[in-house]
Structure 1
Amino acid sequence: MTDLTTRWLGLDLHSPLVVGASPLTDDLDALKACVDAGAGAVVMHSLFEEQLIAEQMAAHRFIDSRINTDAEARSFFPESEVFAMGSSSYLKRLEQLQSSLDVPVIASLNGISPGGWTQHARELEDAGASAIELNLYDLATDPSDTATTLEQRQLEVVGSVVEQVSIPVSIKLSPFYSALPAFVAGVEAAGARGLVLFNRFYQPTMDLDELELSREVVLSTSAELPVRLHAMAMLFNRTTLEMAASGGVHTGDDAAKAILSGATAVQVVSALLAEGPSALARITDEMNQRLTTMGYTSLIEARGALSLDNAPNAQTWERLNYARLLQGWQSSGRTS
C-alpha cells in the first residue's frame, strides 16, 4: 500500500485529504466522522472582511455613544447588538474544534483590501489555528481598476496578514489570473507558505418568473478538476509554495491526479455534502489502490510525476494541444 502521509504548510498529516471550507464547520459530529474516515486536516469556513469591519464599527459606535451619555448614568449601556462582535463566535468555534479534533484546524479569512481587519489574523493564531487560509476574490467592476492595481492590492493583503502571525498562511486563489505564475511569485515574495487552487464561486443566477437574482448551491463535479490540474502541473517546480487542490475531487482517481500534478494536499467539500463523511473513506481507499497499482510507495514519489517538467508528453499541457484535440474530434466525427 502507498504511504499517504504528507507535509502541508509545515504540518504533518496522515492523509492528504482535507475537509475544505464549508458549512460542515458548524457540525462537530460530522467533522469528527470525517476525521475518523481519514481526513488529515480541517479548514473552517471563512471569516469575511465585511464581518470584521462591522465589528470595528460596532466598537466605534459603542465608544461614541458613551461620549453623549450623562457621566452620572453609570448603569447605562447601549443595546447588546451594538457591540456584537463578528469574530467572537468564530474564535470560540475554532477553540472548540482544536480541542475536539485530532488533526490540524486551519482558520480562514476572506478579504480583498488592506486594512485593520487583517489584525484579526493574530486572534486566530492565539485561538489555536494551525494555519490560516486567506481567500482572495476581488471582482473588478470599476473600469479604472486595472489588473495591475487589483493584483497589487491583493498582494498587500497577503503581506498584511502574513505580518500579523507566525503560523503558516496559505492563499486560496480564483482561476482568473491572466499571468498566474507571476502573481504566484508575488504571493511567495509576500511571505505566504502555500496555495489553494482554486476557489469555487456560488454565482447568482436569474429567476425569470420572479424577475430577480437568486443564489443556488451547485455542487462541483469531476469535470471541474482539469483546470486545477493544469495550474498545479504548470507551477510545480516553479514555486516553493505547497499546493492544495480544491474543487472537482469526487473519486480516488481525482485525488491521485491532483497528487501527480503536484498537489501536497487535496481538499474535498462537494463529495462530503453529497455523500457525508463516508465519502472520505471511499476516496482514500480508491486513491491508495490507484497509486499502489501504479507502483508508488509514497506520495513523495508520486507528487508531480505528471507535471509540466516531468510528464513524458508534457506538450499535452500546452495550448497547441487544444487545436490538435479539436482536429482529432472533427476527424472522428466525420468518420463515425
Structure 2
Amino acid sequence: MSLTADEATADVAELLFLEPGELDRRLDLREQGLDSVRTMELVDRWRRAGVSDISFVLLAEDRRLERWLDLLREMQGGGAAGAAPAGDARLRTCIATVSLGGTLAEKLDAAAAAGFDGVELLDADLQGSPLPAADVAARCAELGLSIDLYQPFRRAEGLGAAEFDDALTRFRGELDVMAELGTSSILVVSNTEADADPDPDVSARQLATLADTAAARGMTVTFEALAWGTHIGRLSEAWDVARRADHPALTVAVDTFHLICRGEGAGTVAEVPTEKISLVQVSDAPWRTGDLAQWSRNHRCLPGDGEFDLAGPLAAVLAGGYRGPLSLELFDPDLRRRDPAEVAARGAAALKKLVDRAGAGV
C-alpha cells in the first residue's frame, strides 16, 4: 500500500496533538477532537499519498479510526472501496420513506424486514410522526437501519442575498434535526421557481456556503437536479455547479428518473467523478409527455415495471467504483395504498434484479 495503517494513524494523531498510541480506534474521532476542517486536511494528505478516491463524504460515513483504516486498506488493495461488482454485498441499499404508505414506524419496520441497509428519511414523514427525531434514530438503530439521508431542502440556491440569509437560517434548523437523527447528509434540490437566478456562479457560491455550514457540524450536502428545475434540471447542470463550488462536503445525486426523462444517460454519469456522487436513486417509469413534475410525483414505479433503461446508467455508476447507498425512491399513489411490507419486499427484489442486470456492463 502507498499509505500504511501506521502512517494514516500518525497523520490523525498529529492533527490532534496526540501520540498514535493515545488514539481510541473504536471511538468516534469527533469525540477525540477531530473536526471537519482537520478531516478535510486528512483527505488532502491521503490523496497526495496516492489514495485518489478518498473523500470527505466517505470518511463522514463512519468516523472511527478502525473503519478509516479498513477503508484505506480496501481502496489500495482492490477491495470494497474499489470498483464494486454488481451484486456485491458491500453495495449498500436503502429505500426512501416516501416510497411506502403507512406510518413512519410501519415504513421503518417494512424497510428492515425487506433487508434494506438504510432509509432516506422524508421530512414530512418525520413531521407527521408522533415520534421525536431521537426516538426515530433509536428505532432505526434497533432495526439495524442507517438513516442515509434527510430530504429534501428546497429553495436553497439561485436566490437573492436577503432570501439566501433566510434560507441559511432554515438550513441550520434542519441540521439541528439531523443531529438528533444521527444522520450526516442532507439532500438539497434545485430551485424550481420562476425567479431563480440563472447565473451558475451564484448557485455555486450559495451551495458552497451551505456545504461550509454543514461541514462545520460534520455533515455534508448532496445536491440533486430536479428535472423541472428552472435553470438546473439535468445531472450535467448540477455537476457543473458543484464543480464550480469545489467544496469537499458538496456532492451530487444521480436520480434515474431525472436523468433519463431529460435525455441523459450512462455517458453523463461517467463524466462525474465517482467520489463526487454520494447517492444513487432508482425508479422506473412509463414514457409520458407533459408536465415533468406530475410525471415524477405520480408515475415513478418499481424497476422493471416501467419503460426506462435503468441498467445502463447503473452499470456506469458501478463501473466507476460507486459503493452506495443505492436507494429505491418511488412516487406511485397505488403503491402507497398497499401494505408497506409487501411494497418494500417487492422493491428489494426488483433492486437486486436490476443490480444483477447492470453487472453485465461492469
State the TM-score, normalizing by the size of structure 2.
0.46
The TM-score normalised by the length of structure 1 is 0.49
Select the structure of larger CA radius of gyration.
1
> When you count strand as a share of all residues, which structure comes out higher?
1
